[in-house]
Amino acid sequence: MKELFDLIESLKSLKDFTADAIGKVLKTRLVERADANPYFRFYHSYLQDGPFATAEFQEPSTGARSNDRRLVLEVQGGVGVTYADVAKRYGVGSIFEIIPEAGPEGMVTYLYDALGQKLFFEFTGRSHRLLNVTICRGSCL
């Protein structure tokens, strides 16, 4: 659990929120995907070790008006971080979205504002196990 929170802190404190900088923190290479569009470029990596299974990053394409950058980290199965663990670290958070029909338990996403960035923590609905973490710079809503 400590490694998960340490990585989140390292990622959200990056001055340059780019695929290369994120890759260095995660000790991987984020590869640009072929499905870019005129607005965003997308990167992906499967992570071998640590609390996260995958990393997906999007950044504005050259010349795009948006400045939104978003990193989505899928949590490895068995990590066992719960909403209570996140609330101890970051406080209660605001419910951003509830999707009761998602999977067998539904999903609940909490939003935290962290120094001009948004952190989204997505949990299973009943057991409150962490599924995904999103770090977002820009409007991102």
Summarize pLDDT for 93-136 with one digit per residue, the tens. 999 999 999 988 999 999 999 878 999 999 999 899 999 999 99
Instruction: State the pLDDT at residue 3.
Output: 94
Residue 130's alpha-carbon distances to 1, 20, 110, 138, in angstroms, are 11, 26, 11, 24
Residue range 48-87, pLDDT digits in tens: 889 999 999 999 887 777 788 999 999 998 789 999 999 9
Query: How far apart are the C-alpha atoms of 23 and 30, rounded to whole Å?
Result: 6
Instruction: State the pLDDT at residue 4.
Output: 96
**Quick check: 36 pLDDT over 80?**
no
Name the pTM for this structure.
Answer: 0.93
Q: Which residue in this structure is represented by tokens 């029909």?
A: 101
Instruction: State the pLDDT at residue 62.
Output: 77
- Scored b (16 or more CB within 10 A) or e, 77-106 reads eebebbbebbeeeeeebeeeeeeeeeeeee
